Structure 1
């Protein structure tokens, strides 16, 4: 849909250790989860449906993710070479640029929203390998929902929260600033 904002997350079929490389473009996607602001709904895509997701991205005004510049966008670029041309906002990259260190999505979700993630990327790989696609879909879409809610909170308040050994802290982020292309030199891989 033209001018849509898409929040998305991918799950992979394997880890970097499995493929013997740290190159995200060599990983294979098991499932893509997305939220469309125009449709106000969560959507998932299995491999045979990836072209439908790519068409959405081609028309999107913005894509939003958590570590999408360092991981998801790079994995997707192997499937969709136009990926780097899509305007995008990476919450983790913004946190890193403001604080100088990374914070896990689960940490930000708990401190900002009062709820955490339902697992980690290794759980998603296990679900895929066991053929539990409905559970994988649920896990991925939960991450998308959490990322969307953090993005919404950040746009409304201009900040998000995280916790460290001293307690809950806040980081100011301009969620409404003009977007640049993703940083080429920032690799924030998960594995």
Structure 2
């Protein structure tokens, strides 16, 4: 992938599945913040809700978008904000979906990251929802910064998991019995 622009991507929502009437209404969840890391740029970019079109443009221009369940979750949440049909106009590696094809069930990013890298998530989506509510109530920037930091850390974890997979040709995860299992992947 040398010379190609890989864009790692994640977003956080304003509302939960419960708030919008279930999984089929992802498009109503709203984006609080989106974060990318571009290998061409070598930096993270944080996109507030007002810049979703710009985020969409970056994803469409990428040589490869890498995420964790971004095809079935993040893209449907982002879709109402952007002109492009995200799934059709992007080249993607959804690591969760690829691993699901191999192991037969959905793995959490945290499980793969902790088993492969010894690093886990710093918070969870419910924290991000709470921070969004705090921001809406108070108008303060600090809760938004917390969401951006959490989301950027998830992008970093996604990037590290992908790099580990490319370097080693495998990923580790905690299997259902609590033991560490390995799965071979060819994502070079």
Fold match, TM over 0.5?
yes
Superposition CA RMSD, Å: 1.5
Q: Which of 41, 57, 60 does residue 58 from structure 1 map onto?
A: 60
Residues 29 and 77 in structure 2, CA contact (< 8 A), matched pair in contact too: yes
Q: Which of 161, 174, 188 does residue 186 from structure 2 map onto?
A: 174
Secondary structure of 2:22's counterpart equals: coil
> Counterparts of 1:80-95 in structure 2 under 5 Å?
80=82, 81-84=84-87, 85-95=89-99
Q: Which of 72, 75, 78 does residue 73 from structure 1 map onto?
A: 75
Give the corresponding residue for 1:152.
Answer: 163
The 4+ residue runs of structure 1 with deviation greater than 3 A are none
Give the helix-richer structure, 1 or 2: 2
| Alpha-carbon offset, residue 21 of structure 1 | 3.2
| Alpha-carbon offset, residue 58 of structure 1 | 2.5
Alpha-carbon distance between aligned partners in 2 of 1:57 and 1:70, rounded to the nearest angstrom: 15
Q: Which of 125, 128, 135 does residue 132 from structure 2 map onto?
A: 128
Aligned residues: 175
> TM-score normalised to the size of structure 1?
0.87
Question: Structure 2: which 5+ residue stretches go unaligned?
Answer: 136-142
Once the two structures are superposed, residues 31-82 of structure 1 have per-residue CA deviations (whole angstroms, 9 ceiling, x without a partner) of 0011110111111100122222122122111111000112011211222232
Secondary structure of 1:130's counterpart equals: helix
